[in-house]
Amino acid sequence: MLLSLDTREVGRVTIVRCNGRIVAGGESDSLRSHVTWLLRDRRDIVLHLGEVGFIDSSGLGTMVRALTTIRHARGDLKLCNVPEFVRKVLEMSRLTTVFDSHESEEKAVAAFYRPGARAETPAPIGRSVLCLDSNVDVLAYVRELLRGAGYDVQSSSRVSDALLLMRVSRFDVLLVGPGMAVSAASPPAFKDACARLPVIELGSEFSTSPAGEAGVQLLETIEKRVNLNPTAQPKVSTTRRD
């Protein structure tokens, strides 16, 4: 079975879900190339191994090299959902002290957020914003816009991952894309989490508005919302272009 790599971002952490065999040849080359590609702008990486059916010596060596490469880039690599046969291989190879393994994605992500953990960038000193939007291009733009304005920004395209981030970190504002705000159909845990912080909803026209104008208006909205009454119960507002 060929190795497939399903990648998603959860805040500052990138989760790579491996499915198949990590063996000599194209599979090992694929994993190594993927890690190198991620290191263009990502540093904290989790390998989800729950769907790996076999790993040979070359594949294990590829994982070791990936760990070394990431740490040389001032990042870190963690493993999660490690199958029993892989755990035994790590024990036999005396690599259990080399790899930081966790039983779930949530615990692996949480490990990156613990005080003193390696961080891909210096901790910002501004307010913390969590962005939730299914449009990854909008997420990329909003992340850079807010970081440039001094905000500490984490992002996700899934409600479940946003919940994970809210469990492992504290946020001052939740910024949500169209259709992702709290509703009757939202999971109870998401409703409870959103009730504890201000929520700002991006209008459906945000993605097609002139970037400069939309960005300025969003920054103004966030600043007013955070500084006016940061402890008040939130009311959902929509960023609109008049």
Over residues 143-155, the pLDDT tens digits come to 888 888 889 999 9
Identify whether the C-beta of residue 125 lies closer than 8 Å to the C-beta of residue 151: no
Q: Which carries the bigger pLDDT value, residue 177 or residue 37?
A: 37
Task: Note the pLDDT of residue 122.
Answer: 44
Mean pLDDT of 11-27: 95
Task: Tally the domains of the chain.
Answer: 2
Distance from C-alpha of 144 to C-alpha of 149, rounded to nearest angstrom: 9
The whole-model pTM stands at: 0.76
Question: Which amino acid would we find at residue 75?
Answer: G
Contact assessment for residue 197 and residue 139, using Cβ atoms and an 8 Å cutoff: no
CATH of residue 214's domain is 3.40.50.2300
Does 178 lie in the same domain as 106?
no
**Are 105 and 190 found together in one domain?**
no
Nearest CA to 13 out of 98, 75, 73, 102 is that of: 75
**Do residue 16 and residue 48 come from a single domain?**
yes
**Which of these ranges, 8-17, 31-40, 118-127, has the smallest mean pLDDT?**
118-127
In the structure, what pLDDT confidence band is assigned to residue 51 with cuts at 50, 70 and 90?
Answer: very high
What range does the domain containing 39 cover?
4-113
Find the mean pLDDT for residues 226-237: 46
- CB-based burial label for 207 (10 Å; 0-12, 13-18, 19+): middle
Flag whether 75 is in a domain: yes
**Secondary element (H or E) of residue 27:** helix 26-38
pLDDT at 195: 87
**CATH number of the structural domain spanning residue 47:** 3.30.750.24
Residue 239 confidence (pLDDT): 38
| 140 burial type by CB count under 10 A (0-12 exposed, 13-18 middle, 19+ buried) | middle
pLDDT, averaged across the chain: 85
Please report whether residue 78 resides in a domain. Answer: yes
Model confidence band, residue 237 (pLDDT cutoffs 50, 70, 90):
very low
Q: Are residues 171 and 81 in the same domain?
A: no
pLDDT at 54 over 50: yes
What number is the average pLDDT over the span 85-97? 88
